[in-house]
Structure 1
Amino acid sequence: MQRTHTSIFPSAADKTAPRVALCRQLEENWNRIQVGRQGSYSIERLVSLDQYCNTTSWTRVILVCVSTPIPSLLVAVLLECFPLRPPSEGWVANWVFWLRMSLTSVLLAFGGYSQLAAFVPDLHFTLCKQIIASTGLAVGLIGTSILAAKIIGFPVPLLMQFGAIPTGFFAVLLLRLVGGSDAFASGSPIVAQMKRFQRYFLALIILTGFYPLFKVLYDSVPLAYRGGVILVLPVWRFAAKHFIVYVSRDLEDIIPESVAFLVDFFSSLFVSVCMSSSGPFYLSFLFIAADLSQILLELRELSGNAKVVLQLIGPQLQDPIHPRSSTPEPTTLLTRILGATKEPRAFRAESMGPVRVWACLPHSLTSKQVEQLAHLEESGVYYQRNPSSNNHMKQSLLQTQNGFKQRTSIVPTSTLKHEIASPTTQDPINAKNKQSTRPNGSGSGLKKSKLLVLQGLQLLFHCEYLQLVEYVECITPIVYVVYKSILEQLPNIVYYPGGAGNWSLATVVNILVLAMMEVGSLVFLHHFLQRKFAISAMHQLAFVLETHAYLIQVKLLIGILVLIPFELEHLGADFSLRFEWLDSK
């Protein structure tokens, strides 16, 4: 009879098992709270992205990515070309400064009202009304600022912060006078849309106000301890991102763009400004090291998300941009997900729960695509908005034809419903993927198809967010270098801290090294997604930059027109609160 010996001492494997489980649990919790896991694509956005990838050339993609920051940068440079007078000459002699401030106010007000028109379409805030309201707001702001300069003195102490008060007052007043009282009437269907916009825009204003404070904190810390401020920056960035996610929960499709062009853009701008200031080299190294660590963490997180989708789709997909065979219609992750979503009858026993049919802001689709989305909504499988939101979303969808936007009817006829459901008359993408994406009727097949849709839409959301972050961190240092290099040649440089001659070649090299590292990470992300999922990251990036151009340009204008020059002497940005120039008056 064989005897077995059982050791009373725990083995090495028994000792390490709890540690491994704890590490995995911590990693899961960490991944769960990342911004890339806080949302997913809607089917409407998926359809629009697929159409964009199939119809947009590489030339247009490159032009969109390169030209996006140019309008804001060009406006900022032109405003700096207005020659200013010394603040000591008084507010009357500085009429050019008031002209510059007026133009800035009109541009920013128009950007804010254009976002209002997009977020609250039922308000019918036309272009003409936007221009009138923007001009009126600028007149009110400049008039109040001149009055303050006459009473208090010039420059007005903390003029940028002071200007927020009359700006808020005149913005609401002009909205009521020009837009009407519907937006303020209790019980009006516009009120819910207005509250959604107010939360979103208030978050933008709050983060804009925090940027100067963080810069002042950095400057006030002794040089030997500034490394600690650099270590605090990721914590602030993490908290700010989740603040934006919280206020944008009803605007899930624009969460990646909002987070990237608010938090990451402002923090990247802060890094560029701090790297340009005089200081030891190790501070620049810390900035670059912190950014590199963030890139590695984000790519590792994306790899974990992508691994789940790769297990669901099985074989390697084919790149539609550079197909490896003569197949006229290569299979991509987009077409696989589209094929699965267009078979709602297959999920009759499964609810797709969080998957949304309609985007939070309407995309430009064809009438056939809108009818297909309406049919998917009627299937009852996907997430249902409240009825008023559904009707509004349907009525707000636009179709772009011959350069003009026209409203489209989305009520599907019985014949069209049969046509969409018929296997022989589906659109080419759906027909092509019918065999590979239709569930086999078994429980495992339904579950796999459901997971493909859920995980695939979430992966696209995650990819969009990372692409925008890398793009923002790539263009921001370049924009800052171009702006500062031009400003160094203009007479207005004497009114900024440090004056002329404080912009060296070493500073430019340090900032451009950071930019080139971001370019490399963006290229790596593109090749990773193209190899694994046949997704062109650059096409998806250009899709976002075009689709949300009006949202992005407002944030770029705020960063370049407001945040970069906030230390201009004429703006009275003395956060020590001494305001010594007032003592001499």
Structure 2
Amino acid sequence: MTGVAAITLGTAMCSVSTLLGLAVIWRFPTPFGYILNIVPYVLFLSTFTILVIGPRVLQRSPVLREQINSQLLIIVSQGGVVGCFTIFSAVFNLLSGTQQTIFILVMPLIKFVTKQNIANVAESYHEYVGPVVVFSVDLFNVFYASICMQASKSIMTTVIIMAADSFHLMLALQAIFHQTRNTATLPKPKSQSFIQELLSLMEKDVEVHPCGRRARLLAPFPLPLSDESRQVVMRFTRTGTFTNDTVINRRRSTKRNPGTNNSTNTATQNNQTAPSSAMVPLGPLASNTQDNNDTTKATSRDIIVDGLHTLFHSEYILLAEYIEFIIPMLYAPYLVALFHLPIAAYYPSTASMTLHKLKHTVTSFLIYGTIEFAAFVALVVVLKRKFGFSPLYQLAFVLETHMFAVQGHLFVWTITILHLTLAHYGL
């Protein structure tokens, strides 16, 4: 804990000192000062992390070096997200109504590029890649969509923003339905749900030779799983069919059976592991000499992997849609509170805002949030009919088991985004 405090205080003090130095040497407010401070911030964070851990410890542990490098890459990439959306917002505010309507088409492109970049550098997070992307890129996109709607001079800009969100949702749903084409042999939800049949297939297939497909199976950190869920994961990881022996991190559930002995706990820790890649290898391809029975089993394994991929994408879409209707609902009361504070004069969005404009803006946000909520409900209904169980369980599982990580992301990024337009940052 002392080391964490040293890294936090050291990085914060040096970063603020850098901003003060820029203001003294150059001018205040420093143009794009927050953006210019991203690189020094990462350097200070890296330096203090190395000093606290110890250079000798890092030299002796290649695994630790790899983990730290991975985390720093993620931080740098998230800093790039801040820079991209901030520059976009600055340019957007300088344009006329027609120009804003055209320029808003750049936002989906920024979202796509930054999302792919975060997903690539966050490979070591395994199945947590989805929440990392959602609570960074998607969170920024929704906030800046709201900010652009507030600053837009044409109603067409708002229409395009909503149309772009709907288009992305349709593409995501199409990907899910396309990915489940190999699961047509699964029984309909009337007899068994999608996930129940998937578990049944995994039980039957767990002892056969693995195929060459890959799927995310394990989390990068302990999760409070139920005893039944933990036993299922243990059973699959023991076989080696759905996990990999070449690992760099070891993680296990935080819940144990009351009667579990030490040897069982050790087995759990040694087997429930997180692989070094974002996707869990399922082994080499089956040889051409296998009989028809093995071919049938290989087909069932393809169904299993497609099913796991589908559930992963379903979880990601649910998180993204959840953010898209929650943020406008939260931003509206924030704007009302900010309007009545003295500091409102230092925010471009509220500096010259009248009470009439405030009411109109808040109404627009509430309408936007209501539309997104309707889209979320429609998504839940569609996925429920597809899978045979309520996808709200997936959303609840992520929000509950990843509670501290999710709250951390929301707190840090929300504070960062809402203060970025402050005049003192020169943006």
TM-score (norm. length: structure 2): 0.82
Aligned to 2:319: 468
TM-superposed CA distance for 1:197, in Å, is: 1.7
The one-letter code sitting in structure 1 at the alignment partner of 2:369 is A
TM-superposed CA distance for 1:129, in Å, is: 2.5
Aligned equivalent of 2:220, options 360, 372, 387: 360
Number of residue pairs matched by the alignment? 397
* Deviation string, structure 1 residues 117-154 (Cα, Å, up to 9, x no partner): xxxxxxxxxx3432332123223333443444444454
**Does the C-alpha gap of structure 1 residues 144 and 288 become closer, same or farther in structure 2, counting only changes over 3 Å?**
closer
Aligned equivalent of 1:192, options 63, 66, 89: 66
Q: Secondary structure at the match of 1:364?
A: coil
Q: Secondary structure at the match of 2:255?
A: strand
TM-superposed CA distance for 1:352, in Å, is: 5.9
Aligned to 1:316: 189
2:157 corresponds to 1:283: yes
TM-superposed CA distance for 1:371, in Å, is: 6.3
State how 1:364-383 maps to structure 2 within 5 Å.
364-365=224-225, 373-383=233-243
The one-letter code sitting in structure 2 at the alignment partner of 1:562 is T
Aligned to 1:495: 346
The one-letter code sitting in structure 2 at the alignment partner of 1:313 is L
TM-superposed CA distance for 1:524, in Å, is: 1.4
Aligned to 2:364: 510
2:52 corresponds to 1:178: yes
* Deviation string, structure 1 residues 501-521 (Cα, Å, up to 9, x no partner): 344322222222221121111
Higher CA-based Rg: 1
Aligned 8 A contact 1:250 1:360 in 2: yes
2:409 corresponds to 1:537: no
Give, in whole Å, the separation in 2 of the partners of 1:144 and 1:235. Answer: 32
Aligned 8 A contact 1:356 1:383 in 2: no
Aligned to 2:303: 452
State how 1:284-303 maps to structure 2 within 5 Å.
284-303=158-177
TM-superposed CA distance for 1:461, in Å, is: 0.8
Aligned 8 A contact 2:217 2:243 in 1: yes
* Deviation string, structure 1 residues 355-379 (Cα, Å, up to 9, x no partner): 4554333433467865654553343
TM-superposed CA distance for 1:283, in Å, is: 1.9
**Does the C-alpha gap of structure 1 residues 304 and 368 become closer, same or farther in structure 2, counting only changes over 3 Å?**
closer
* Deviation string, structure 1 residues 507-558 (Cα, Å, up to 9, x no partner): 2222222211211111112122223322222221121123333433343234
Aligned to 2:282: none
Aligned to 1:109: none
Aligned to 2:128: 254
TM-score (norm. length: structure 1): 0.61
State how 1:48-87 maps to structure 2 within 5 Å.
none
The one-letter code sitting in structure 1 at the alignment partner of 2:194 is L
Query: Which has the higher relative contact order, 1 or 2, with Cα contacts under 8 A spaced 6 or more apart?
Result: 1
**Does the C-alpha gap of structure 1 residues 449 and 243 become closer, same or farther in structure 2, counting only changes over 3 Å?**
same
**Does the C-alpha gap of structure 1 residues 529 and 199 become closer, same or farther in structure 2, counting only changes over 3 Å?**
same
Aligned to 1:397: 252
2:144 corresponds to 1:244: no
Give, in whole Å, the separation in 2 of the partners of 1:571 and 1:232. Answer: 24
Aligned to 1:272: 146
Aligned 8 A contact 1:367 1:409 in 2: no
Aligned 8 A contact 2:42 2:75 in 1: no
State how 1:80-229 maps to structure 2 within 5 Å.
127-181=1-55, 184-185=58-59, 188-229=62-103
- Aligned-residue Cα RMSD (Å) equals 3.0
Aligned 8 A contact 2:126 2:216 in 1: no
Q: Secondary structure at the match of 2:37?
A: helix
Aligned 8 A contact 2:223 2:402 in 1: no
**Does the C-alpha gap of structure 1 residues 345 and 176 become closer, same or farther in structure 2, counting only changes over 3 Å?**
closer
Aligned to 2:381: 527
**Does the C-alpha gap of structure 1 residues 221 and 182 become closer, same or farther in structure 2, counting only changes over 3 Å?**
farther
Aligned to 1:411: 267
2:427 corresponds to 1:569: no
TM-superposed CA distance for 1:288, in Å, is: 1.9
Aligned 8 A contact 1:495 1:568 in 2: yes
TM-superposed CA distance for 1:169, in Å, is: 3.4
Q: Secondary structure at the match of 2:254?
A: strand
TM-superposed CA distance for 1:280, in Å, is: 2.0
* Deviation string, structure 1 residues 473-506 (Cα, Å, up to 9, x no partner): 1112222212111101111101111515344322
Give, in whole Å, the separation in 1 of the partners of 2:298 and 2:43. Answer: 54
Q: Secondary structure at the match of 1:198?
A: helix
2:405 corresponds to 1:551: yes
Give, in whole Å, the separation in 2 of the partners of 1:157 and 1:236. Answer: 22
The one-letter code sitting in structure 2 at the alignment partner of 1:499 is A
* Deviation string, structure 1 residues 75-96 (Cα, Å, up to 9, x no partner): xxxxxxxxxxxxxxxxxxxxxx
**Does the C-alpha gap of structure 1 residues 345 and 262 become closer, same or farther in structure 2, counting only changes over 3 Å?**
closer
Identity within the alignment, %: 23
**Does the C-alpha gap of structure 1 residues 400 and 187 become closer, same or farther in structure 2, counting only changes over 3 Å?**
closer
